[in-house]
Amino acid sequence: MKIASLAFSCLLLLASGVNAAPAARPLPSDSVYQLPLVLTDQGANRWDWRSKRGKPQVVAMFYTSCQFTCPLIVDSGKAIEHALGPASRGQVGLLLISLDPRRDTPAALRRVVKERELDLARWSLASPRPQDVRDVAGVLGVRYRQLANGDFNHTSGLLLLDREGRIVARTDKVGTVPDPEFVKAVRRSLAP
C-alpha cells in the first residue's frame, strides 16, 4: 500500500509540473553553452556540448585534412597538457571542433586521435552538423572561409572556457611551445 501511495504522489508531482529532481543552475548569459549544439565525436557518439559544463575546456576549431595550421593546434594542446603536469592534466578537457563536418567523419577524427596519440580521457574531437558550423564559430570568435579546393582559411587560436562555458582566455600562439600566459590562465581556471 505504501508503494502505491508513493507512486501516486510522484504522478501528482509530475502532473502538476513540479520537477522532483533539483533544477540545474541556469547558464550565465555570456556562456558559449547558451548555443544549443550537438556534436558527433570520434567514437560516433552524439552529445550536447553543454555536457562539458563543470570542467574547464581548451577549445579550438580545426579540420582533419589540414596539413599546416591544424597539426600545430593539436601540438598546442599537447604542449599545454605537458606544461600542466600529470597532477593537473585530468582537470581540464581539450575539445577540437571541426570546421569540415562533411569530411570529418568519426573515422577521420579517430585517425587523428590515433596518429597524434591523444588521450581520450581528456581529448574530444567532434563535428557539428554542417548547418551549425557558422554558429559555433561565431560564439567562439573563429573566422573562416572555405577555399575552392575544399581547404579552409581560419583563425588558429585556442580558447579557454571556464567551468560555466565563459571565454576567459585566448591565445593565437600555436605550436610545441605553449603561450605562458595562456598556461597561467588554465592553471587559474583549475582553482576551486
Looking at residue 126, what is its pLDDT?
A: 98
Q: What global pTM score does this model have?
A: 0.86
Looking at residue 21, what is its pLDDT?
A: 36
Fold entry, domain 28-190: Glutaredoxin (3.40.30)
Kindly report, residue by residue over 61-110, the tens digit of the pLDDT.
Answer: 999 999 989 999 999 999 999 999 998 999 999 999 999 999 999 999 99
Looking at residue 18, what is its pLDDT?
A: 36
Identify whether the C-beta of residue 83 lies closer than 8 Å to the C-beta of residue 47: no
Identify whether the C-beta of residue 48 lies closer than 8 Å to the C-beta of residue 33: no
* Every domain of the chain and the residues it spans: 28-190
Other CB atoms within 10 Å distance of the CB of residue 35:
16
Looking at residue 185, what is its pLDDT?
A: 97
pLDDT beneath 70: ranges in the chain: 1-23
